[in-house]
Amino acid sequence: MRVPLVAGNWKMNLLLAEARALLGVLRDEVDRLPRGRVEVAVCPAAPYLFPVAKALDGSSISFGAQNLYHEPAGAFTGEVSAAMIRDCGARWVILGHSERRHTIGHLEDDRMINLKLRAARGAGLTPILCVGETLAERERGATDDVLTFQLRAALVNAPIQSGQDLVIAYEPVWAIGTGRNATPDQAQTAHAHLRAELRRTLAGAGDPTAAGAIASTVRILYGGSVKPDNAAEIFSQPDVDGGLIGGASLKGASFVGIVRAALAAAG
């Protein structure tokens, strides 16, 4: 029912020649897979959105940005709008990534992430909304509360009318780039919680039947130290619909290995 999505978050990696070489490998492998059974996307740094669009011309692989600024236009030096990203042909935008919430320069709060999500939807981009708890929050038993709060805050007044309007990525902060992935059980528990909360949040904003239908079709990706050798087990969980992949998306062989694991898990 939900086609798995495997999205590569390149972060601030790969110069253009390296990106083109990687995309060449991905096109060779991914475009030969059965159509419609798995979706694959890459998210390059902003200056490469347009060259990546060209390099992916005619491919089934889609692409997205890693961030946007919520204002439509104006005096915002250094920022990139949702419409600009869409204009480059992007389909996705990663929002609320933990590196932006917790580690980069001026930190992003939930209100800012909500403004960005609404700007993305307004421009026709599908947000890949990242949520996740820190290790301290997990250890004090606050995981569910943190996920509920982040999800609800991001979706205030957001126009989510179908399962295609949103992707959620559960990314426990303690698992990102650490080599320590969540266990399949931990991932499933968090994903099931997020799906139930999504249904409640959307029902609170409108028709409960429609909310149920949307929540059951929104894809919830797992992200945090996914590798070809742990992907199959994580993706086999019923509420895990693919992955958001950082380090392992930078090499053709490992990213393709993860895409194949998603395809196999989809049955």
Which tokens go with 53? Answer: 């669009």
CB of 4 vs ligand PGA, minimal distance in Å = 16
Q: Is residue 221 involved in binding ligand PGA (CB under 6 A)?
A: no
Q: 11 with 66: CB under 8 angstroms?
A: yes
Between CA 44 and CA 49 the distance in angstroms is 6
| CA dist list (Å): 64 to 49, 110, 177 | 8, 21, 20
Segment near ligand PGA (CB under 6 A); pick from 117-125, 152-160, 192-200, 244-252: 244-252
Name residue 189's amino acid: T
The residue number whose beta carbon is nearest to ligand PGA equals 246
CB of 108 vs ligand PGA, minimal distance in Å = 14
Would you list the DSSP string of 181-217? PPPHHHHHHHHHHHHHHHHHHHHHTS-HHHHHHHHHH
Contact with ligand PGA (CB under 6 A): which of 244, 256, 263, 265? 244
Q: Is residue 81 involved in binding ligand PGA (CB under 6 A)?
A: no
Q: Is residue 245 involved in binding ligand PGA (CB under 6 A)?
A: yes
Question: Given 29, 39, 70, 97, which residue is catalytic?
Answer: 97
How many residues in the shown chain lie near ligand PGA by CB under 6 A?
A: 13
Between CA 81 and CA 71 the distance in angstroms is 7
CB of 116 vs ligand PGA, minimal distance in Å = 17
Q: How many CA atoms lie within 13 A of 130 on its CB side?
A: 29
Q: Is residue 187 involved in binding ligand PGA (CB under 6 A)?
A: no
Burial pattern 1-29, b for ≥16 Cβ within 10 A else e, equals ebebbbbbbbbeebeeeebeebbeebbeb
Is there a catalytic annotation at residue 191?
no
Task: Scan residues 9-28 and list those touching ligand PGA (CB under 6 A).
Answer: 9
Q: Is 73 exposed, middle or buried (0-12, 13-18, 19+ CB in 10 A)?
A: exposed
User: Which residues partner with 65 through β-bridges?
Assistant: 93
Is there a catalytic annotation at residue 171?
yes
Q: Is residue 226 involved in binding ligand PGA (CB under 6 A)?
A: yes
Closer residue to ligand PGA, CB minimum distance, 214 or 261: 261
Contact with ligand PGA (CB under 6 A): which of 171, 197, 239, 241? 171
Between CA 226 and CA 55 the distance in angstroms is 26
Contact with ligand PGA (CB under 6 A): which of 159, 177, 204, 208? 177
CB of 15 vs ligand PGA, minimal distance in Å = 19
CB of 255 vs ligand PGA, minimal distance in Å = 10
Q: Which residues bind ligand PGA (CB under 6 A)?
A: 9, 171, 176-177, 223-226, 244-248
Residues catalogued as catalytic: 97, 171
